[in-house]
Amino acid sequence: MIRSKLKQLIDSCFNQGAAQGLWSNAAAGLYNVETPRHDGQGDFATNFAMVLAGKEKRNPREIAGQLVALLETDDTLLDKVKIAGPGFVNLFLKPSVWSTVLAPIDDQRQQFGLTNIGNSKKVMVEFVSANPTGPLSVGHGRNGILGDTIARLLDATGFDVTREYYFNDAGRQMRVLGGSLQARYLELLGEDNQFPEDGYQGEYLYEIAREMIEDAGDEFKDNELDFFRKRAQDAIFADIEATLKRIGITFDSYYNEHTLYEEGLIDAVVTELRAKNLVYEKDDATWFKSTEFGHEKDRVIIKSSGEPTYRLPDIAYHREKYRRGFDWMINIFGSDHIATVPDVMAGIEAIGLDNSKVQVILHQFVTLMRDGRQVKMSTRKATFVTIDELVDEVGVDALRFFFLMRKPDSQLEFDLELAKAQSQENPVYYVQYGHARLCSIERMAAEKEVALPELSATDLSCLREKEEYQLLKTLSEYPAMVTGAAKDLAPHRVIFYLMELAGHFHSFYNKHKVITEDEQLTAARLCLCQGIKTVLANGLELVGLTAPNKM
């Protein structure tokens, strides 16, 4: 909005200066317009002169003076322009400019902030992809909410998004799962059984076994292991789907790992690598020459037992993503995948595909704190806290908000007591209370028979308080924030923005009345509040949270 208008103005000045011979075109588009860190440095600042000075080998203050001369011809946006420090140019806007922020919000409402920068580019976001060996734990929750919110951001900016869950239903872990259920089933029947080494010990397997006995008694006691594997897999995945739906996550497609085996896609990758002399046999195993792609050592892709390692199915799966026509493939993984990602990327390159189309986001794990102490988690031993248990305790909104409060690569400490607090110390409460408070202002206006004004008929020039300017400035940043968060796959920026906007609103509300004896001022402030309410609601929707009318 305002920032983009200023950038257009400075671009125009750059072109004028180049045409006049003041500088070359070497620095075109390399300079920025930013919000200054400190008061008194203007509404915005540009590093224009600093960047050009590096290219032109000139004094930056000299270039800054030339830019200022060009900018001072503008009579629409700028009130004054000042050179600061070694050559930064601080830009002070006319007060009337800020009130123009409200018009597009009022006009676009729920569409405000949405763009089409993606131009329908086909994007797959693969996330969760949890093995169907037990209920979703806290780490899966962070993965799911991160992936879902990234997909929402890409939707909001015009990409053609497919949300996919890679269903890992093959390999040893599934055999161990089947053996664990079989042992629990026989145990409940009073039959002799041997629990698998490293078997899954969760209560959920007892629950599945009890349901089997209720359905058919001992009818299944002589069934093969594969029967128990499929029974456990189906029951657990149904539970996973229900949990995901509960926290607002749905998928467009699921891809089953067994498809890669059934359709010969894994063998096809090996054949292709052999044809390129990129695999060899050693110690009864098949090795991939990953050293030819910058790695320190080669990697086993087929064990001596004949079973592929994780790398091979992952390479085959990505090969299918390319075949399906995706322009950008985003994978959300836990940090435990940090060692596997380079191998898969090398495999993608080895079979002749452009691995720059694949972007991997690795998120750190969650430390769950209860009463000041860390809760230990282990899927096999079933001493973990499930997402459903967390939702029961803190609610969906707090869960989503807290999981998005940190950058993916930052450790996340989830404070249960804070997440449940009904106070302004709780950040999600703080933001949602802002929306509820804005709704209460409208109800108060109705009680006092003050009609909500039409923006086009309202004089906004009386919005002159420092807090009002700050709110207008913050509202103006929303579209750029959404675009930047989508481009950089950084949903935490939406959370930071919402906290900032809510903070400015609460500060304004605590210092100034909205409904006053001055009808003109009241109308202007009600218009401002309507704009804040719209943007808060849009931002909360963007990250999958509700915007409550009352709290």
Query: Which residues, in sequence order, are CB contacts of 89 under 8 Å at separation 6+?
Result: 45, 46, 48, 49, 64, 67, 68, 71, 81, 82, 83
Q: What pLDDT is recorded for position 377?
A: 56
- Sheet with 299-302: strands ordered across: 279-282, 285-288, 299-302
Q: Tokens standing for 350?
A: 């080895």
- How many residues comprise the chain? 551
Q: What is the DSSP string of 327-339?
A: SEEEEEEEGGGTT
pLDDT for the residue numbered 379: 47
Residue for token pair 């998004």: 161
Please check whether residue 527 is in contact with residue 102, taking contact to mean a CB–CB distance below 8 angstroms: yes
Q: Which residues pair with 82 in a beta bridge?
A: 90
Domains and CATH numbers, the chain: 2-93 (3.30.1360.70), 127-250+364-420 (3.40.50.620), 423-542 (1.10.730.10)
CA torsion angle 80 86 88 89 (round to 10): 20
Nearest CA-CA partner of 84 in 71, 97, 66, 65: 65
- Residue tagged 């110390």 (tokens): 425
The CA angle 395-398-402, to the nearest 5 degrees, is 140
The answer to whether 140 and 178 have CB atoms below 8 angstroms apart is no
Which pLDDT score is estimated for 437?
98
pLDDT at 215: 93
257 vs 277: CA distance, rounded Å: 26
- What percent of the chain lies above the pLDDT cut of 70? 99
Question: Measured between alpha carbons, how far is 481 from 475 in angstroms, rounded to an integer?
Answer: 10
CA 477 to chain centre: 19
Token duo for residue 312: 């091979």
User: What is the spatial distance between Cα 222 and Cα 199, in angstroms, rounded to a whole number?
Assistant: 20
Task: Check if the beta carbon of residue 228 is closer than 8 Å to that of residue 205.
Answer: no
Closest CA to 231 of 190, 179, 196: 179
* C-alpha distances in Å from residue 409, one per residue of 332, 365, 406, 456: 11, 9, 8, 45
Low-confidence ranges of the chain (pLDDT < 50): 379-380
Cα separation of 180 and 351, whole Å? 38
Fill in the DSSP letter of residue 175. Answer: H
Enter the tokens of residue 69.
């001369």
Question: Rounded CA gap, 10 and 27, in Å?
Answer: 13
Per-residue pLDDT, 382 = 54
Return d(Cα 33, Cα 51) in angstroms, integer: 12
- What pLDDT score does 173 carry? 86
Q: Within a 13 Å sphere around the CA of 426, how many CA atoms are in the beta-carbon half?
A: 19
Q: Are 460 and 103 spatial neighbours (Cβ–Cβ below 8 Å)?
A: no
pLDDT for the residue 447 = 96
Phi-psi label, residue 234: left if phi above 0, alpha if psi -120 to 50, beta otherwise: alpha
Give me the long-range contacts of 217-226 (CB less than 8 A, separation at least 24): 218/189, 218/191, 220/185, 221/185, 221/186, 221/189, 221/191, 225/175, 225/178, 225/179, 225/182, 226/178
108: tokens are 């676009």
Pairing of strands 88-93, 299-302: unpaired
Q: How far apart are CA 66 and CA 60, in angstroms?
A: 10
pLDDT in the model for residue 150:
98
Report whether 144 contacts 119 (CB < 8 A): no
